[in-house]
Structure 1
Amino acid sequence: MTSSTTPGIARFNALEEAAATTALHEVCASSAWGRKLLSRRPYTTAEALYAASDAAMAELTADDLAEAMAGHPPIGRPKPGDPTSSREQAGMAGASEDLRTEMLELNLAYQDKFGHVFLICATGRTGEQMRDAVRDRIGNSPEQEREIVRTELGKINRIRLARLAERAELAEQAEEENA
């Protein structure tokens, strides 16, 4: 992105707090993360927004991470009617029934061990790559896995923030709320 404020960032900065909170909650379900990003507005660039996201992610407690993870469906089962969830998990869309069944079993084993869904930045990954990742990560300690999840959430947040920063709908929301 450029070093000047983009129209999308300007629109995000102009949102009323409630609308900005809602928009950020769609990016990440952690209320602590959202509050930290709100408190640092206005942003001059997308890079500044991403840096604030990274800093907020680094500060999240285990409970904050759990809240963020609760906003993510299991791999292979995107939220019905949620285009973001479907787009992010597109690598599983054409997966064989065997792979889907294996992912369900691995997801359940992972959840039994760690107490939360297997979380990975699925954008651009195939079903096989996601299966291999859960196989590799299920042997981690809870502490190792928490830090991997923090990193994966950060990647997901950056992708979602990029979309947020460019969404034309924000202009309409801001105009309606400021009218």
Structure 2
Amino acid sequence: MTLTELNQLSLQAFVTVCEPLLEHCDWVLPQLAATRPFMSVEDMQHKLGLALKSAPLALQKQALCLHPKLGVGKAQPGFSQSEQAQAGLSQLSDEELLQFQTLNQAYETKMGFPFVVAVTGLNKSQILELMAVRVQSTEAAEWPIALNELIKIAQIRVKKLITD
């Protein structure tokens, strides 16, 4: 879809088309739609980031908590599935699967939300290393990192969604 076409969509059509940008986080899409027209892909990416950063804490936490966990089963169809597959997360050994499960559980128990990282350009070893480091952090330190990673994921997906 082109940026021009996206700018001209009805609110409902916009929400439907943009839903894959953030799984289970469609509350942000009407806000994003209200900021149209987008002058460029970068403008849309910026406005999406602002919408997430300016959201109430409860909605930010909901967005993080509903984000699919990495390497612990079948990924969401669409962007998540292809992103996790390119990172090698769809073909984990039993040992790697156990490592992901253990680190995911430890991180979520400690932080109160799942581990979130933009996996584009990373491999499973790099992701495991990041998990092992970030699980040692504090919730206060991790919160902005996780939120920024969620924004980064959505911004990467905007580039995949828009064809101009």
Q: TM-score, normalized by length of structure 2?
A: 0.87
Q: Deviations over 1:4-37 (max 9, x none)?
A: xxx6111111211111112333212434432321
Q: For 2:66 and 2:76, locate their aligned partners in 1 and report how far apart those are by CA, in whole Å.
A: 15
Query: Is 30-39 or 15-24 further displaced after alignment?
Result: 30-39
Kept after mapping to 2: 8 A contact 1:66/1:116: yes
* Map 1:1-80 → 2, pairs under 5 A: 8-28=2-22, 29-77=24-72, 79=74
Kept after mapping to 2: 8 A contact 1:78/1:89: no
Give the equivalent residue in structure 2 for 1:134: 131
- SS of corresponding position for 1:88: helix
Query: Is 77-86 or 60-69 further displaced after alignment?
Result: 77-86
Give the equivalent residue in structure 1 for 2:119: 122
Q: For 2:162 and 2:60, locate their aligned partners in 1 and report how far apart those are by CA, in whole Å.
A: 23
- SS of corresponding position for 1:67: helix
Deviation, structure 1 residue 47: 1.6
Letter in 2 for 1:47: E
Q: Deviations over 1:81-135 (max 9, x none)?
A: 6032211112213333211111111111111112221111011211111111111
RMSD between aligned alpha carbons? 2.0
Letter in 1 for 2:19: H
Return closer, same or farther for 1:95/1:80 CA change in 2, 3 Å cut-off.
closer
- SS of corresponding position for 1:156: helix
Which ranges of structure 1 fall in alignment gaps of 5 or more residues? 1-6, 168-179
Letter in 2 for 1:107: N
Percent identical among aligned pairs is 24
Q: For 2:141 and 2:115, locate their aligned partners in 1 and report how far apart those are by CA, in whole Å.
A: 13
Kept after mapping to 2: 8 A contact 1:31/1:64: no
Q: Which has the larger radius of gyration?
A: 1
Kept after mapping to 1: 8 A contact 2:11/2:30: no
Return closer, same or farther for 1:72/1:81 CA change in 2, 3 Å cut-off.
closer
Query: Is 29-38 or 57-66 further displaced after alignment?
Result: 29-38
